[in-house]
């Protein structure tokens, strides 16, 4: 019966059927196998010895953010930790503020990078200096415009360092603000987190975010730090993980006490600049990682193109509706579950639109990066 059906349909219709079936299978694997894994993550109640931690923050003209966020880090409920702020050529009163706060907090230290007009550098130099200044082997990274949502942030990260783990990937959210841009930023952040947590929990870690991650000082210098991509403005977080992480040495922490919040970009121009910088490092990922990330986007676009082709050529509307509803149902359920897991709200209804639009926006940014040869700045 199936063979007879296949023999009676036009070749073009057969190709469209084959394309949408392929796209549905691939998309189903991503959602039901990979993107579901963060939802299924459970906190392990293991007895862990709380070893000393070094929190490293790179700051460039961040006086206002440090004044607001630094106390939330310095007052963590953790027995032994230091906070190192690398003041990277700031032109505001960051230096004065840090000097004042060091009088109040004995676990705060800072170091300065002086401006040299003959020598330009990115954030990676500040990270290296922070790593060299760290007294502890276990280093935790966040940004000056970030803050932990709980006093147990460091404790949750420390609990993730079970046997043989050298890298811990955490979730860095953005504050909820009014407006469409903020919803796009939150949706983009969620779907990226679904990907890198899902792949990490599937045994293929490929990136992390510098807003909330941790790794051993030992693995940093043993892997020669940023030497292979020091010339790239971005990548102090994702490219380091891409080079050094594997299924045996990487842990994920998704308890709500482990989350950080960041100040989101408030204008389309500043957000596009930030996204372009983040996307610029993707081309340096391992070939296998680029393949699997590209396969998801390709299968997603193929699905929508196939649906459109079926409408144009008036192919069985019951099949069109069934295929669309099947993927749409899975997608909306998995995204909602991830939103609940990562404590994200207020943008679920935009999923059908952004599922199509965001890859196009990202592609535009990637093309723009290729056309722009300037190195830019990290801040």
Q: What is the pLDDT of residues 13-47, one digit of tens each?
A: 788 888 999 999 999 999 999 999 999 999 877 67
Instruction: Work out the pLDDT band at 373, boundaries 50, 70, 90.
Output: low
Predicted confidence at residue 2, as pLDDT, reads: 46
Q: What percent of the chain has pLDDT over 90?
A: 71
Query: pTM score, two decimals?
Result: 0.92
Most confident of 231-235, 281-285, 364-368: 281-285
Predicted confidence at residue 8, as pLDDT, reads: 60
Got the DSSP string for 340-375?
A: HHTT--S-GGGHHHHHHHHHHHHHHHHHHHHH----
* pLDDT surpasses 80 at 372: no
Predicted confidence at residue 328, as pLDDT, reads: 95
Characterize 91-113 residue by residue with b for buried, 16 or more Cβ atoms within 10 angstroms of its Cβ, and e for exposed: eeebeebbeebeeeeebbbbeeb
Residue 284 CA to residue 301 CA, distance in Å, equals 23
Q: What is the pLDDT of residues 224-257, one digit of tens each?
A: 788 888 888 788 899 999 999 999 999 999 999 9
- Mean pLDDT computed over every residue of the chain: 90
Q: What is the H or E stretch that residue 295 is in? A: helix 287-312
Predicted confidence at residue 375, as pLDDT, reads: 57
Most confident of 42-51, 177-186, 215-224: 177-186
Residues 6+ apart with CB under 8 A from 20: 302, 303, 306, 307, 310, 323
User: Cβ–Cβ contacts within 10 Å for residue 357, how many?
Assistant: 12
Q: What is the pLDDT of residues 110-153, one digit of tens each?
A: 999 887 766 778 899 999 999 999 999 999 999 999 999 999 99
Q: What percent of the chain has pLDDT over 70?
A: 94
Q: What is the pLDDT of residues 310-348, one digit of tens each?
A: 888 887 778 888 989 999 999 999 999 999 999 999 999
Structural domains for the chain: 12-38+288-371 (no CATH), 43-268 (3.90.550.10)
Predicted confidence at residue 90, as pLDDT, reads: 87
Copy the structure tokens of residue 50. Answer: 């709380």
* pLDDT surpasses 70 at 208: yes
Residue with tokens 């008036």: 314
């Amino acid at each position: 019966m199936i063979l007879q059906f296949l023999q009676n349909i036009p070749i073009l219709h057969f190709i469209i059927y084959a394309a949408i079936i392929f796209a549905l299978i691939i998309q189903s694997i991503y959602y039901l196998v990979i993107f579901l894994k963060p939802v299924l993550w459970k906190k392990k109640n293991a007895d862990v010895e709380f070893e000393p931690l070094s929190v490293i923050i790179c700051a460039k003209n961040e006086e206002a953010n440090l004044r607001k966020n630094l106390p939330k880090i310095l007052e963590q409920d953790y027995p032994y930790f230091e906070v190192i702020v690398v003041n990277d050529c700031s032109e505001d009163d960051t230096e004065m503020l840090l000097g004042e706060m060091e009088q109040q907090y004995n676990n705060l230290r800072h170091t300065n990078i002086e401006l040299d007009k003959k020598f330009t550098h990115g954030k990676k130099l500040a990270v290296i200096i922070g790593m060299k200044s760290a007294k502890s082997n276990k280093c935790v990274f966040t940004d000056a415009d970030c803050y932990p949502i709980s006093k147990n942030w460091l404790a949750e990260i420390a609990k993730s360092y079970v046997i043989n783990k050298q890298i811990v990937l955490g979730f860095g959210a953005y504050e909820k603000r009014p407006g469409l841009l903020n919803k796009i930023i939150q949706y983009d952040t969620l779907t990226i987190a679904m990907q890198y947590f899902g792949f990490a929990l599937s045994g293929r870690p490929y990136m992390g975010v510098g807003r909330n991650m941790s790794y051993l000082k030992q693995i940093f210098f043993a892997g020669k730090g940023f030497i292979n991509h020091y010339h790239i403005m971005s990548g102090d977080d994702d490219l380091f993980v891409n080079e050094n992480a594997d299924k045996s040495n990487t842990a994920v922490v998704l308890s709500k006490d482990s989350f950080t919040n960041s100040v989101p970009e408030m204008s389309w121009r500043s957000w596009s600049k930030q996204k372009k910088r983040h996307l610029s490092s993707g081309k340096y990922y391992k070939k296998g990682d680029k393949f699997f990330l590209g396969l998801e986007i390709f299968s997603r676009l193929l699905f929508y193109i196939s649906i459109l082709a079926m409408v144009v050529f008036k192919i069985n509307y019951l099949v069109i509706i069934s295929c669309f509803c099947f993927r749409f149902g899975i997608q909306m359920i998995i995204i909602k579950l991830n939103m609940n897991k990562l404590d994200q709200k207020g943008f679920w209804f935009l999923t059908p639109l952004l599922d199509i639009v965001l890859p196009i926006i990202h592609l535009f940014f990637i093309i723009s990066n290729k056309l722009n040869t300037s190195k830019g700045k990290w801040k």
